[in-house]
Structure 1
Amino acid sequence: MVTDSYSSDKAQESRIKALYIWLESKFSLRGKFIVAIGAIISFSYMLFLYRVSIVDNELIILQAQQQARMLYNQILITRQWVSEHNGLFVIEKEGVEGNPFLDLPTITDQSGNTYFMRNPAMVTRELSEYSNQKGLGSFRVTSLKPVNPANFPDEHEKQCMINFEQGSAESIDIKNTPEGRIVRYMAPLDVKESCLGCHARHGYNQGDIRGALSITIPIDWADKKIKNNNRSLFFIGLISFILVSITLLLMFNTLVVSRLHRLSLAMNSFPETEADQLILPTGYDEIGNLSEQFAELCERLVHSHKELDQTRQQAWFSEKMASLGILSAGIAHEVNNPLGGMLNCVKSMSEHPGDREMHERYLPLIDKGLRRIEHTMRQLLNFGRQEPLQFRKIDVAILLGECLELLSYKLTGITIEQKNGLDREYYVDAEALKQIFVNIGLNAIQAMQNGGTLKIESEMHDSELRFTFEDTGTGIAKETLTHIFDPFFTTKDVGVGTGLGLSVTYSLVRQMNGTIEVESELGAGTKFIII
């Protein structure tokens, strides 16, 4: 039993959750609000109508019961008056008949007029006929031992009289008939002293229950009134619901939806639109406060973005300087070689100032050495120059060649195999691309301490630039691959790397809306793919 109850609760919870998900997917915030408010108003009004209908029904029944009691007392008073006056006599005329169950049914006066006697039972019956004709209900005297067979009780009346003999004071019941509902009221008739003249011979004593008064009051007219009233209340409620829904919809659109829409547009337009140019909803409520918080957030984001750009530029420049530091040994050798030759030439020329032939032979050599040093320094200056990122049209193949020439100062036992598939200029950020090439190239060179091959391929792939750098170095372990683009992550010895090279490379690639992928296996080399 516990398991079944738990399963039922889970099923009910699942149905409610499914309904909630369906509402979430099918309705907007405005739709959910209208559905929720409509459901609450509808439920409340239906509950109100139901309660009004019940109260009306209870009031009608109470009114009918009170009316039946009043009628019962009035009939008792009438019967008592007739009994205490030993009956009534009505003159003979058409439609007036005698009572064959009386000892003295008729009398005749001296003028020859005939009068028919009316006892309490007869008066009760005739008054009932008048009441029934007026649609006010009917009533009659009934008994378990009737003198007049017409007063024989039906099953309901028989059961009530049995209950009276057992001490019940009255009986009230609601019955449904083809003509509508009726209230059936019954109360006992006690034998009074004035009744003994007629009923003593039937074995009754004073205080005995000789029968009951059965009263029937139709309430179909009240049911019609209740139905009409409920119909009116329903239409009034429907009109009220429509008016309230329209009012709430307009208020919700004005106070919530339109303001949230403006806030959403402002969010979508940021950061393309300056923070102080955003059109935000105003007010002193929650949405107004949210707008103020959003404006403050935009200002903080702009400030943070500026600081991030500065930090990124600093990191980029620092990595450039670090790369230059790594290349410094090869660059120093590249400068020292022609510098040593030039110093020898200058020394020889100073020792033989009059040797014009020597001067003519050495001066071109000095000029060539100086130009070689100038070319090397220009490469260093171009690489170390700090400029903001900007896209411009350049020859990427030439740019890659310049980077390889700069890297050549570190090549020892390393062969570069280059395959160029680019034959025109492209819009790229030259400085960022230069830094990317040098960083990945240095990474490959450092991974091939004992020599190897660096394959570089550049091509157009699906309308996008694609660069592939593949070395035959030591490779990268699988557990390390997921961290190589993390800032300050390095597997090199202390003082060899900053841990920013690949992190800066990844950041620069992302800034140019590109992607960078790496494939590597420990001991089998590494491949970087930049798109």
Structure 2
Amino acid sequence: MNLTIKFIVAISAIILLSYGFLLFQTSNLQNELVMEQARQQARILYKQILLTRQWVSDHQGLFLVKTAGVAENPYLHESAIRADDGTVFVKRNPAMVTRELSEYAARSGFCWFRITSLEPVNPVNKPDDFERDAMLRFNEGLAELEAITDSPEGRVHRYIAPLLVQESCLTCHAEHGYSVGDIRGALSISVPLAWADKVIKKNNTTIIKYSVFSILAVALALIFLFNKLVARRIDRLSKAMENYPHREYPVSDDQHLLDDEIGRLINGFTDLCDRLDKAQKDLDNTMQQAFYSEKMASLGQLTAGIAHEINNPLGGLLNCVKTMHEEPENLELHKRYIPLLDKGLKRIEHIMRQLLNFGRKAPLTFSKVNVDEIIRECFELLEYRFKDIALNLDLALTENYCIDVEALRQIIVNTALNAIQAMPEGGSLKVSTRRAYARIIITVQDTGIGIEPEIMNRIFDPFFTTKEVGEGTGLGLAVTYSLVQQMGGTVEVESEIGKGSTFIISLPANQRKVKSTGEHIFTPEKGH
């Protein structure tokens, strides 16, 4: 998942959570407002009904003309009176007025209410569970009670408050044992909330629509800005980092953006690359000088043996020339000595050519050569060092391979000198070559003193040596390791104290040409 997608997902999640929280809070606030409105509406209605009941009670009830829809109240002692003209009037007490007003309110859908009592005179006024619980708690001092219940039409806000006996109420209720201030019953009011729930749902739907639109608009704007100001610039910087140092790596940026954090990072990367290029160039020069110095040090160790190799044929040549001068007329002698002179001179020429090849300073260049033959030439140079050492060459490479000749010479000589120095009392040295799939394996095995385990991981460090001062530079194995790496190879070491060490050098059998540090060299070809 790239940075842009992560950013979009994170921002979208934050916006969704924010709008979700806003929707939740808004819905709760609307619900609280509706509940408060229903509560206040119920309280106002309760007070209005109390005033209406008080007015009816103070006037000893209402008398209405008896008609088909106006029936007598069977629970009143004097439920009707007849006028002199024969008109019948039926009496309406506060309870009857309250019930008839509730029926009007219920038909209008506004709300409904009723009188209830724990000891009802009219069975219709028998309380339900909510009302019974409320009236029991009124006796304990509770002033009012409300609750939200569900109905087929939706939520209903229920409100109930006590009805206290007034002086004017005793006309009817004194016979039931009530006194002024007693709780005669309660007024139960129900306010439907379905209309409010519809409004809340509509508001929530509107908020969701605007939220989705806002999220899309903000997301698109953020994607555009993020791509322009962050993602695209970081992507260019990332590609430049991946390309460094093998391909062009400059990072272009909008001029007006160079002063922000990413702009400063891009400028810093460019400066860092310049410093790294300079440091790499200086390091390459230093390493090349160190490699050449180590090669010359190795060459110095060969000097004594080379002098011996040259002095032997040179002495014979001088004797032949002296004899030929003493007997200038002896053609038979001249005929016999001239081939000997030719052979001795060619021997000296061969030795000097090997020295020149070994000491030549040149860039890493690959060509197809006979690896086994190069190894034999190296051990010919080292032949004088094998006085008490038995050399066993088991060379089994039958083809020519693409190898840097000078690097291979230095690797073999350095490794062989290291093995020889590890056998001061003599021993045996076995050198073998073989092909293993796409690799060339060169093994150098000695029977020397071995390498201490605690220094095994340091033997390839530059200038690390266990020899006495003046006996070694500490660069031999470091140079060997570096050259092997440059050719795409590896070096493994196995050692056992008192039994010897084995250096296993693995090199690619195939190479391809690449450009590195300003020079054309060959590096391992992948896939082989």
TM-score, normalised with respect to structure 2: 0.81
Partner of 1:124: 98
- Give the AA of the match of 1:402: E
Look up the SS of the partner of 1:302 in the other structure: helix
Q: 1:263 aligns with which of 220, 234, 237?
A: 237
Q: 1:63 aligns with which of 17, 37, 40?
A: 37
**2:53·2:94 contact (CA, 8 Å) conserved in 1?**
yes
1:225 aligns with 2:209: no
Query: 2-side partners of 1:105 and 1:73: how far apart?
Result: 27
Partner of 2:517: none
Query: 2-side partners of 1:413 and 1:263: how far apart?
Result: 61
**2:243·2:249 contact (CA, 8 Å) conserved in 1?**
no
1:490 aligns with 2:465: yes
Query: 2-side partners of 1:519 and 1:169: how far apart?
Result: 96
Look up the SS of the partner of 2:234 in the other structure: helix
Partner of 1:237: 211
- Give the AA of the match of 2:156: I
Which structure 2 residues correspond to residues 57-206 of structure 1 after superposition, within 5 A? Answer: 57-109=31-83, 111-200=85-174, 202-206=176-180
Partner of 2:515: none
Query: 2-side partners of 1:202 and 1:462: how far apart?
Result: 115
Distance change >3 Å, CA 78–CA 375, structure 1 → 2: same
- Give the AA of the match of 1:91: V
Distance change >3 Å, CA 72–CA 314, structure 1 → 2: same
Bigger mean CA offset, 393-402 vs 134-143:
393-402
- Give the AA of the match of 1:45: Y
Look up the SS of the partner of 2:458 in the other structure: coil
**2:324·2:334 contact (CA, 8 Å) conserved in 1?**
no
Bigger mean CA offset, 236-245 vs 389-398:
236-245
**1:263·1:280 contact (CA, 8 Å) conserved in 2?**
no
Distance change >3 Å, CA 275–CA 260, structure 1 → 2: closer
Which structure 2 residues correspond to residues 379-390 of structure 1 after superposition, within 5 A? Answer: 379-390=354-365
Partner of 1:328: 303
**Which one has a larger percent helix, Structure 1 or Structure 2?**
1
- Give the AA of the match of 1:430: V
1:53 aligns with 2:20: no
The Cα of 1:59 is off from its aligned counterpart by 1.9
**2:451·2:501 contact (CA, 8 Å) conserved in 1?**
yes
**2:241·2:249 contact (CA, 8 Å) conserved in 1?**
no
- Give the AA of the match of 2:265: L
The gaps in structure 1 that reach 5 residues or longer are 1-26
Query: 2-side partners of 1:263 and 1:49: how far apart?
Result: 41
The Cα of 1:390 is off from its aligned counterpart by 1.8
The Cα of 1:474 is off from its aligned counterpart by 4.3
Partner of 2:246: 272
Bigger mean CA offset, 381-390 vs 226-235:
226-235
Distance change >3 Å, CA 121–CA 407, structure 1 → 2: same
Bigger mean CA offset, 509-518 vs 110-119:
110-119
Bigger mean CA offset, 95-104 vs 198-207:
198-207
Look up the SS of the partner of 1:50 in the other structure: helix
Query: 1-side partners of 2:123 and 2:416: how far apart?
Result: 126
Query: 2-side partners of 1:445 and 1:146: how far apart?
Result: 122
Q: 1:426 aligns with which of 382, 401, 405?
A: 401
Which structure 2 residues correspond to residues 268-307 of structure 1 after superposition, within 5 A? Answer: 268-276=242-250, 283-307=258-282
- Give the AA of the match of 1:61: M
Q: CA RMSD in A?
A: 3.6
Distance change >3 Å, CA 99–CA 503, structure 1 → 2: same
The gaps in structure 2 that reach 5 residues or longer are 507-528
The Cα of 1:148 is off from its aligned counterpart by 4.0
The Cα of 1:249 is off from its aligned counterpart by 4.4
Bigger mean CA offset, 237-246 vs 309-318:
237-246
Bigger mean CA offset, 168-177 vs 370-379:
370-379
Query: 2-side partners of 1:163 and 1:477: how far apart?
Result: 94
Query: 1-side partners of 2:449 and 2:175: how far apart?
Result: 134
The Cα of 1:247 is off from its aligned counterpart by 4.4
**2:160·2:186 contact (CA, 8 Å) conserved in 1?**
yes
Look up the SS of the partner of 1:488 in the other structure: coil
Paired residue total: 501
Q: 2:491 aligns with which of 516, 519, 529?
A: 516
TM-score, normalised with respect to structure 1: 0.81
- CA offsets, 1:289-321, max 9 Å, x none? 333333233223222222221222112111111
- CA offsets, 1:21-77, max 9 Å, x none? xxxxxx554454444444433333333333333322222222111111111221222
**1:473·1:524 contact (CA, 8 Å) conserved in 2?**
yes
Look up the SS of the partner of 1:493 in the other structure: coil
Bigger mean CA offset, 289-298 vs 191-200:
191-200
Look up the SS of the partner of 2:382 in the other structure: helix
The Cα of 1:454 is off from its aligned counterpart by 3.6
The Cα of 1:147 is off from its aligned counterpart by 4.4
Distance change >3 Å, CA 400–CA 126, structure 1 → 2: same
The Cα of 1:520 is off from its aligned counterpart by 3.8
- Give the AA of the match of 2:107: Q
- CA offsets, 1:498-531, max 9 Å, x none? 2211221111111111122334444444433322
Partner of 2:480: 505
Distance change >3 Å, CA 428–CA 156, structure 1 → 2: closer
Partner of 1:394: 369
Partner of 2:284: 309
Query: 2-side partners of 1:415 and 1:159: how far apart?
Result: 113
Query: 2-side partners of 1:146 and 1:411: how far apart?
Result: 130
Look up the SS of the partner of 1:460 in the other structure: strand
Partner of 1:530: 505
